[in-house]
Amino acid sequence: MKKFEEQATQGLLDKDLITTEQFDRIQGYRNLDLFSLHAELKLFLYVSVLMFTSGIGILIYQNIDSIGHIAILGLLLTITVACFYFCFKNSAGFHKMQTQFQNPIFDYLILAAVLLSCIFVGYLQFQYTVFGTHYGLATIVPTTIAFFCAYYFDNKSVLSIAITGLAAYIGLSVSPQSLVHNDFYQTTTLSYSAILLGVLLVAWTVYSSKTNLKKHFGLVFLTFALHIMSIACINNLFENYWGIFALILATSSFFFYFTSYEFKSVTLFVFTIIYAYIGLNIVLVTIFEFLNIDDDLFISLFFLVPFYFIGSIILFIRLIKQFNKNNSHDTIQ
């Protein structure tokens, strides 16, 4: 990272965008090796919110018989309303462009409020079945609250909760473990729903970009869309109708490959390459099985496998270097 920063600064000097004196000051500042605690403090705030909401859940679970349902719901509602009150009071209101609280602690307060809202609605449905047998409503209500809060308070963490809730509403689970072990291979409809959700997230990102509606949310939507669509397609590459999903995976990989350059997101770029590589290998194995190659030829191809993987690693490293190099040049320009 330091090397790319030095190259970028040198590029600015070569193009006469900064003076020699400014260049020396920048280099002197970097040589101080100052360490910022800003990211660490925000991480501690985030962990504090998660520990607090988790503690509320554990408290409810361990004392559900002694405290009483009404008391628990009353406590949850009181804390949630208090969190929302302070957030609305200190908010700048809704704006299409990026906004933020004057004090970053309110970003984590609204995150706590949304998480507590999910706990409150879930507990209400579990204990009193206020939505009857319409269990989807118990998911869509906190999801709607999360989407509203994400856009009103401009909070990406809350947006992630909202997208997760939307995925859960259509039957998907988007935690890393659940994505891998999901039932895509058992339910074809679920695969179609996952791909459709991914397409909708991409479409909403394009619409938001054109209308300048929270354009900075685009990377969050695209990240969810990439994982959901790619894993749904990969799981179905083992089925008889694998060709359709191979085509969808190839199309989505092509789209996300160029989109990662647009957003300058190395995470999006790396996962796009990984999913495309996994899908390509599965398709190649499927084609070999279909061709029914004889044993001698198969053994010959087997000896080429180590060279194939070594070549893949080299190509992957070169792609990453090229990606960083292009982004570095874009930053200089």
Query: Bigger pLDDT: 229 or 170?
Result: 229
pLDDT score for 208: 93
Tokens of 241: 């109708």
In the numeric block, which tokens belong to residue 295?
């044993």
Instruction: State yes or no: pLDDT of 8 exceeds 80.
Output: no
Scanning the chain, the segments in alpha helix (DSSP H) are 2-14, 20-31, 38-62, 64-67, 69-90, 105-128, 135-153, 156-169, 176-180, 188-211, 218-235, 242-263, 266-291, 295-303, 305-332
Delimit the domains of the chain by residue range.
1-34, 39-169, 176-292
More confident site: 136 or 333? 136
Angstrom CA distances, 171 to 37, 123, 198, stand at: 40, 20, 14
Distance between CA atoms of 328 and 11, rounded to whole angstroms? 10
Q: Vertex 234, ends 160 and 276: CA angle to 5°? A: 85
Res 105 pLDDT > 50: yes
Percent above pLDDT 90 for the chain: 37
Please give the angle made by the CA atoms of 207, 113 and 118, to the nearest 5 degrees. 80
Interatomic CA distance for residues 40 and 18, integer angstroms: 32
As to burial, measured by CB atoms within 10 angstroms (0-12 exposed, 13-18 middle, 19+ buried), residue 132 is: exposed
Judge whether residue 279 has pLDDT over 90.
yes
pLDDT tens readout for residues 34-88: 666 666 677 777 788 778 788 877 777 776 666 777 888 888 899 999 999 999 9
- Say if CB 157 and CB 208 are below 8 A apart: no
Alpha-carbon distance of 306 to 100, in angstroms, equals 51
